[in-house]
Structure formats: structure tokens, C-alpha cells
Structure 1
Amino acid sequence: MSKQAQGYFYLSLAMVLVGSTVAASKIIAAGLPPFTATALRFAIAFPLLLLLMRRTRTPWPRLPRGDWLILFLQAGAGSVGYTTLLISGLKLTPAADAGVIIGTLPVVSAAIAIVILGERPHPSTLLAIALAAAGVLTIVFRSETGGMHSLTGSVLIFCAVICEGLFILLNKRLKRAIPPLTLSSLMAGLGGVIAAPIALAEVPWAGSTTTAAIAAVAYYALVPTVGGFLLWYAGLAKVSGTEASVFTALAPVSAVLFAFAVLGEPLTRHQLLGIGCVLAAVLCLGRSRPTTPGSLRIRPEPH
């Protein structure tokens, strides 16, 4: 297998794992409060990320005070905000719907950069934003009402995507570059610190915690979080940033397929149409962003 083919394989598998987090979060939502699940996830992942740092001799950075404030805000938005909003939204809406909405992350990030940072959009970026919006609208506004198709749930999940987009925006404000493994470790550690007090307030021991939910949290922490990180950056080392960005389109496809195969959710024409729009949007965005492997800041998994 060629170096490029190996890169494609690693990136594909990483994005498949990212998609699987939606099904895992759906299981978690049925058996654990959102902040409790988030704190538990980081409690499992953080020691493993520290071990990876030690094995790879990755140093802790010396950062100015302003960068530590940005990191704290990143952890609050991209780590705790994303995960808790996703779990809360999945209590109300199907995992397949969530998969389509989460697939808009690269496009939402580009839109945030245009609105807040004043970046000049490429025509392909504007087309990608329009396609992504169309994909989300097919999920949010549909003919059937009631049941598990909740507007509130869809809005919560889209807010989770915005939180992750804010993480990417805040990352551009850091004065010093932080290695990816160090950044992931910091996000897990700070995210756990933020989530833990609120998790205690949820009084999780008084509720009906399920074994399936705890197992899903362990899977989320071990496989997509740590394993997805290793696969993504192993693939990124073998291909260009532009090529890698295209593989993010596999995450929503994976999420919808896991919802069908693992959770037994039916696939509707709205979901298929929505995912088609989102895939087209991500591909358009990939063509409009000539990046290098060192500059690509898409995280391998939602923190």
C-alpha cells in the first residue's frame, strides 16, 4: 500500500469513528445526565492522552496568561458545550438527524470566520454555506410532526456545532502554537475541571444510570477520542491538508449509517436529501481551501 493510500485509510477510519460518536451519545442520553457523562468521558481520556504525551516526549508549552484564558474558553465551548448540547439534543431527536447537522461543522466554522474575523469568502465557500444550510433545513422543517423529530433537539445540536466552530475560531487567537496532542490533552483536562462541579449538581447517583450508557461513555473516550486522534494525525502526515479536509464528509455519512445499523433508526428521504446537501457542501469547501498539513485545524473528533 502506498503512503498516500495509507493516509486515505487512516483518515477514513478516523472520520468513521467520529460519526460513531453520535450513536454513542444517543445511548448515553438515555442513561446519564449530560454533564456527568462529559466529566466521566474526560476522566477516562485525560490520563491516556497524558501517557501519549509522555511516550512521544511531547512537552507542555509555556504560554502567556491570555492564551490560558483562551484555552479555558475553548474547553468550555468546544469540549463541555459541544458534548453536553449534543447529548441533550439527542434526548429529543434521532441520531440520523444529528449526524446530518453535525456534518455542517466545517462550513459553520468557515461562516464564523467570515462573520467574526472578517475573512473574505471564496465563491465556493458561499456555495458550501448555502448547501449546508439547505441540508439542515431539510431536517429542521419537514412535513411530519411530533414523535422524535424535535425542532428543539435539532436547535440544541446545531448550537453544539456552533460551540465547536467557536473552538476553531478561538484557536486562531492563540499567540503561541500548541502541538495537537498537547491541545487535546489540555482540552480533556480543562473540560473535566469545568464539567465536574456541574456533574455533581446533577446528582447522577440518584437517577437511573444504565450500564449501556457507561459503556458508551467509555467507548467515546477510548476509541473516537484517543484512537481517532492517532488515526487522524497519522493520516494527515501522509497527505495534503486539502485532501484531508475532504474526508470530513465521511463523518455525517458514518453517523447516519450507525444510527440505522446500531440504533435501528429508519432512514427518511429528508435525511438522505440533507446528507446529500451536506456532503456537497464539504466537498465545495475542500476545493476552496488550499491548506497545508501543518495548517489544517480540523479536530479528529468532537471534544
Structure 2
Amino acid sequence: MSRQVKGYVYLALAMLTVGSTVVASKLIASGLPPFSATALRFAVAFPVLLLLMWATSARLPTLSRHDRLILIIQAGAGSVGYTTLLISGLSLTSAADAGVIIGTLPVVSAAISIMLLRERPQRALLLAVALATAGGLSIAFTPDAAGGALSGNALIFLAVVCEGLFILLNKRLKTDVAPLALSTLMAGIGFIVAAIPAVFEAPFAHGISTSALGAVVYYALVPTVGGFLLWYAGAERVSGTEAALFTALAPVSAVMLAFIILGEPVGLSQIAGIGCVLAAVLGLAFAGSRTVKLAGGR
């Protein structure tokens, strides 16, 4: 197997773990409060990431006050905000619908960059935003999406916005932080941020289901740690544009796993939503590839 093909396999497996977080969060939502589950997730993942740093002789960089503040906001939005909103939303809506909405992340991130950084949008990006919006609307406003499901879909979208802010804030760091060190910092800070409100949830007073606890441990070890290792093992073997294309597999894997593991029905609305989201992400990636080629030609 060639180096490039191995990269493709690693990236595909990484996106499979990303899609599985939707199913795991659905199981968590039925047996644990969101902040307690998030704090437990990072409590499990943090020592494993520290061990990986020790094994690879990685070091935490010296950070300025500005960068420390950015990291705290990042952890609050991308680590805690994303996870708690995802779990809360999945207590109200289906994992299949959530998978489609989460697939809009690349487009939402690009749109946030335009709004906050005042970047001039390209025609391809505007088309991608329109397609992603159509995909989200196709499942958000289905006949059975009234009431709680609609609220759940809104919470999932807010989770995507939090993750988009995480990506944007990462560009604001003045110090170059290696991926493993950044993941470790996010887990450590995320645990502290989530543990404070978790105290008021009193999870043990209501009992904790075995399936929810197992899903938290899975979320911590497989998508959080394993997904990190798979993604960067794949990304170092292929181009950035090729790696970006694989993010389109996340919503597909989420919907497929919701059908296989949870037995959720997949209807025309989900299929149409996935089609729109895939077209948006792939179009955005190809547009980026074309821009790089044109720049190289100069």
C-alpha cells in the first residue's frame, strides 16, 4: 500500500470516528447531564494525551497572556460549548439529523471568517453556503421536526458555530502550538471549564446509565485521542486539499451509524441534506484547490 493510499485510509477512519461522536452523544444524552459528561470525557482523555506527549517528547510552549486567554476561550467554545450543545441537542432530535447539520462545519467556519475577519467572499463560497443552508433546512423543517426536534436542531447548529469559532480563534494565536500540545491543552482547560457547572448538575443524584458512561469513555478514547492520531497520520501523507475533502465523510458516517447502531430511519430529507452538504464541502475544497493552483502558476 502506497504512502498516499495509507493517508486516505487514515483520514477516512478519522472521519468515521468523528461521525461516531453523534451516536455516542445520543447515548450520553439519555443518561448523563451535558456538563458532567463533558467533564468526564476530558478527565479520561487528558492523562492519555499527556502520556502521548511524554512518549513523543513533546513540550508545551511558553505562552503570552494573549495566547493563554485565546486558549481559554477556545476551550470554552470549541471543547465545552460544542460538546454540551451537541449532547443537549441530541436529547431532543435524531442522530441522523444532527449528522447532516454537523456536516456544514467547513462552510460555517468559512462564513464566520468572512463575517468576523471581513474577508471578501468568493462566488464558490457563497454557493457553498447556499447549498449547506439548503441541506440544513431540508432536515430542520421536515413535518416531524416541530417542537423539540426543531429546538434540538437549533442547538446542534449552535454547536457547529462554536466549533467554527474554535477554528477561527486558532488563527489568532501568536505562538505556534503543535497539534498534540493543543489537544492536550484543550482537554485540560476543557475539564476545568466543564467541571464548574457540572457540580450543580449533581449527576449521581439521578443515577448514571451504563450505556451513557461507556459512550463517554468511548468518546474520550476513540474520537478524541484515536481520531487525533488517525487524522494527523493521514494528513502528513497527503496534501492539505486532499485532507480537507475527507471532512465530507463525517456527516455520511454519522447518518449511516445512526441507522446501523441506533436503528434510526433515514428518509429522503436526510439523503437530500447529505447531498447538499457534500456538494457544498466538495465544492469549497475544489475551489480552494483551484485557487492554490492559480497562485502557484504566478
Bin of the TM-score, shorter chain as denominator length:
over 0.9
Q: Which amino acid aligns with 1:264?
A: G
Give the superposition deviation at 1:125: 1.3
1:165-180 matches, within 5 Å, as 165-180=164-179
Superposition deviation, residue 256 in structure 1? 0.1
Q: Which amino acid aligns with 2:270?
A: Q
- Give the fraction of aligned pairs with identical amino acids, expressed as a percent: 66
Map residues 208-247 of structure 1 onto 2, 5 A cutoff: 208-247=207-246
Size of the aligned set, in residue pairs, is: 291
Q: What is the 5 A alignment of 1:56-75?
A: 56-75=56-75
Structure 2 residue aligned with 1:45 = 45
Q: What is the deviation of 1:173?
A: 0.8
Per-residue CA distance 1:178-235 (angstroms, 9 max, x = gap): 1000000000000000000111110011113100000000000001110000000000
Query: What displacement does 1:123 show?
Result: 1.8
Matched ranges for 1:100-139 at <5 A: 100-139=100-139
| Counterpart-to-counterpart distance in 2, 1:151 and 1:217 | 25
State the 1:144 CA deviation. 3.2
In the TM superposition, residue 146 of structure 1 has moved relative to its aligned partner by: 4.7
Q: Which runs of 5+ in 2 are unaligned?
A: 293-298
Cα distance in 1 for residues equivalent to 2:237 and 2:228: 15
Match of 1:153 in 2: 152
* 1:113-157 deviations in Å (ceiling 9; x for gaps): 01110112222111111110000011111233558x711000000
The amino acid of 1:111's aligned partner reads: A
- What TM-score do you get using the length of structure 2 for normalisation? 0.95
Counterparts in 2 of 1:186-197, with a 5 A limit?
Answer: 186-197=185-196
State the partner residue of 2:250. Answer: 251
Residue deviations 1:1-41, cap 9 Å, x none?
01110000000000011000000000000000000000000
Q: CA RMSD in A?
A: 1.3
Q: Counterparts of 1:281 and 1:166 in 2: how far apart (Å)?
A: 19
2:29 matches 1:29: yes
Cα distance in 2 for residues equivalent to 1:289 and 1:146: 37
Which position in structure 2 is the counterpart of 1:207?
Answer: 206
For the residues of structure 2 that align with 1:31 and 1:55, how far apart are their CA atoms?
35
Deviating beyond 3 angstroms after TM superposition, the runs of 4 or more aligned structure 1 residues are 144-147
